[in-house]
Amino acid sequence: MLGNGVRTLDTVGLDQLPSATMIRPAHEFPDALDEHRPKGAQLEEILEGLVVGLGPGGRLPSERQLAERYGVARMTVRGAVESLITGGLLYRSHGQGTFVAQPRIVQSEALTSFTEDMRRRGLKAGAVPLGREVVPASPLLSGPLQITVGAPVVRIERIRTADSEPIATEVAQLPLERFPGLDVFDLSDTSLYDALRREWGVEVHHADQRVQAVVLRSEEAELLRVEAGQAAFEFVRLTFDASGVPIEHVRSLYRSDRYQVRTHLHRSVFSAEVAAGE
Ligand code: 16G
């Protein structure tokens, strides 16, 4: 993180902050705080300016420097920094400082594969196999997949990476009868959706997906290389082919510090849902 090319304002000295940044107009970094407005809120604005100016990976001046520069208590600076950390704009690296976070990967509403999602953002998608087995369909799974209880299901566990960084874990379950040979097919660094198309001639068409917030257990956090107790998005997706036959049930855990979900809301959907009694 601290290799060459990391821009840091530490090196220029906080007394030069307004002009030395040069990346934002000087007037956006006030010399002194306005005594009629809450100090914390003003510091947050200053920090937001620094986030934009420094860009991802840039290092923030220390709390002490900021406190001296703006004549406030370190606790006030810490509060403002914490607020931007909570908002995902900054992150702290122990013993190294506070840095501007990478922008999050946004999941759009299109039905895409992980590989397509990453490629579109200029990142290289990867898949690290964790395990694969054929299991009998449980009563809970057989309903959604529309197969009989006990029918063979291929259960595929993978870590998904973007530019080698773990982003998500996935447990996909697909009916073996629909995809014979999937239990032995090599899926390392391979798109499952590509394989379904190429090898079995099945195209994903639409999906029902739910997302909820969860707290990562220690073994999940370890796989994703984040701290245990960090929040994650849990997606449960049931994917269908063009004839409406379910082909895949997936539970994924996505890092909440690297991922974001975008939804597009339309008024007419409300009327349709009310009409459908949802
Ligand atoms: C995404 C899907 C997952 C699907 C996978 C296929 C979410 C939450 N999940 O990760 O259901 O199995 O893509 O990706 O988006 P692949 O074709 O790259 O293997």
Average pLDDT rounded to a whole number, residues 186-198: 93
By mean pLDDT, which of 20-29, 40-49, 134-143 is the weakest? 20-29
What is the band of 223 on the pLDDT scale with cuts at 50, 70, 90? Answer: very high
Looking at residue 200, what is its pLDDT?
96
Secondary structure percentages of the chain, helix, strand, coil, to 5? 30, 30, 40
pLDDT digits (tens, 9 = 90+) for 229-266: 999 999 999 999 999 999 999 999 999 988 888 888 88
> Nearest C-alpha to atom 4 of ligand 1 is from which residue?
113
**Percent of the chain clearing pLDDT 90 (strictly above):** 66
- Which tokens in the block code for residue 140? 């809970």
Ligand 1: distance of its center to the CA of 209 in Å? Answer: 11
From ligand 1's centre to the CA of 47, what distance in Å? 36
Given this model, what pLDDT does residue 47 score? Answer: 92
**Cβ contact 62:10 at 8 Å:** yes
Rounded CA separation 160/174 (Å): 18
Q: Which atom of ligand 1 is nearest to the CA of 252?
A: 8
Residues in the chain: 278
What local confidence, expressed as pLDDT, does residue 26 receive? 41
> 43: helix, coil or strand?
helix
State the pLDDT at residue 217.
Answer: 94
Mutate to test the pocket of ligand 1, among 108, 109, 114, 203 (most ligand atoms within 8 A of CB): 114
Mean pLDDT of the chain: 87
What Cα–Cα distance (Å) separates residue 5 from each residue in 14, 39, 56, 71?
Answer: 20, 32, 11, 30
Pocket probe mutation, ligand 1, options 170, 224, 251, 262, max atoms within 8 Å of Cβ: 170
User: Could you give the CA distance from residue 86 to residue 266 in angstroms, rounded to a whole number?
Assistant: 29
Residue 104 amino acid letter: R
Please tell me the distance between residue 113's alpha carbon and the centre of ligand 1 in angstroms.
4
Would you state the pLDDT for residue 15?
A: 38
- Among 95-109, 138-152, 164-178, the minimum mean pLDDT is found in 95-109
How many Å lie between the centroid of ligand 1 and the Cα of residue 171? 10
As a whole number of angstroms, the distance between CA 66 and CA 45 comes to 13
* Ligand 1 atom having least distance to the Cα of 127: 19
Q: Report which ligand 1 atom has the smallest distance to the Cα of 115.
A: 18
Tell which wins on pLDDT, 257 or 182: 182
Pocket of ligand 1 (CB under 6 A): 113-115, 125, 170, 172, 191-194, 235, 237, 248, 250, 252
Ligand 1 centroid to Cα of residue 50, in Å, is: 35
Q: How many angstroms does the Cα of residue 220 sit away from the middle of ligand 1?
A: 18
Residue 170: phi, psi to the nearest 5? -135, 135
**Collapsed DSSP state (helix, strand, coil) of residue 48:** helix
Q: Which long-range contacts (CB under 8 A, 24 or more apart) does 164-168 make?
A: 164/124, 164/126, 165/225, 165/258, 166/128, 166/223, 166/224, 166/225, 166/255, 167/105, 167/118, 167/224, 167/254, 167/255, 167/258, 167/259, 168/114, 168/224, 168/252, 168/253, 168/254, 168/255, 168/259
Let me know: does 47 contact 90? Beta carbons within 8 Å.
yes
Residue range 66-74: mean pLDDT, rounded: 92
Ranges of beta strands (E only) in the chain are 90-93, 97-100, 105-107, 125-136, 152-162, 165-175, 206-215, 231-240, 246-255, 259-261
Q: Using most ligand atoms within 8 A of CB, pick from 123, 250, 258, 261 the residue to mutate for ligand 1.
A: 250
Q: In this predicted structure, what is the pLDDT of residue 17? A: 43
Span 21-46, average pLDDT:
73
Residue closest via CA to ligand 1's atom 16 equals 191
Q: How far, in Å, from the CA of 192 to the mean position of ligand 1? A: 7
pLDDT value at residue 28? 57
